[in-house]
Amino acid sequence: MFRSRPGIITKQKVDCIKGLRAKELRRQMTLAEKILWQALRAKRLHGLHFRRQQVIDGFIVDFYCHAASLVVEIDGDIHKLQPEYDTERDRVLAARELQILRFQNEEVLQDLDRVLAQIVEACRQSNSPPSLGEGWGERYA
């Protein structure tokens, strides 16, 4: 069974099992994901809208900003065991012209401000930068 989610990633069909898995991952976020989500949710980062555990072409990405065509991944130990999968995943996402930022769990836990600054900079440099509101670069420039 497939269903379409227009407006998020247009013209893609999401397998119901993937949709359920994404929902499960939203309930079981790692500590680093929870911390970053608190900074990104509800347009808290300069009015940028992020989604968590977004399905894109059959892959579930940690965070996604449609306006900036940006995927943010928080890598834990599991990623050391699956380099081929991550390479293929990055290739598929890049084919959609999505920029991918990867951070280690420790980076989010130890230096959240630097992580957020890099996210803001990536959004600013995107092909279709979102409106970042007045003063957006003051804290995270």
Task: Answer whether residue 138 is part of any domain.
Answer: no
Q: How many domains does the chain have?
A: 1
Helix (H/G/I), strand (E/B), else coil: 101: strand
Task: Answer whether residue 16 is part of any domain.
Answer: yes
Cβ count within 10 A of residue 70: 22
Task: Answer whether residue 141 is part of any domain.
Answer: no
Task: Answer whether residue 140 is part of any domain.
Answer: no
Task: Answer whether residue 125 is part of any domain.
Answer: yes
Q: In which domain, by residue range, is 24 found?
A: 2-129
Place of tokens 């900036």: 68
How would DSSP label each residue in 115-138? Answer: HHHHHHHHHHHSSSPPP--TTTHH
pLDDT at 18: 80
pLDDT at 20: 85
Task: Answer whether residue 135 is part of any domain.
Answer: no
Task: Answer whether residue 99 is part of any domain.
Answer: yes
In tens, the pLDDT along 94-126 reads 998 999 999 999 999 999 999 999 999 999 988
User: Each residue's pLDDT tens digit in the chain (141 positions)?
Assistant: 333 333 356 556 777 888 888 888 889 899 999 999 999 999 999 899 999 999 998 899 999 999 999 999 999 877 666 788 888 989 999 998 999 999 999 999 999 999 999 999 999 988 554 455 544 444 444
The CA distance from 41 to 50, in Å, is 6
- In our burial notation (b when 16+ CB lie closer than 10 A, e otherwise), range 13-36 reads ebeeebbeebeeeeeebbebbebb
pLDDT at 68: 93
pLDDT at 19: 80
Nearest C-alpha neighbor of 34 from the set 62, 7, 4, 3: 62
Q: What is the pTM of this model?
A: 0.79
The CA distance from 115 to 101, in Å, is 10
The CA distance from 10 to 56, in Å, is 10
pLDDT at 127: 56
CATH number of the domain within which 22 lies: 3.40.960.10
Task: Answer whether residue 94 is part of any domain.
Answer: yes
Average per-residue pLDDT for the chain: 82
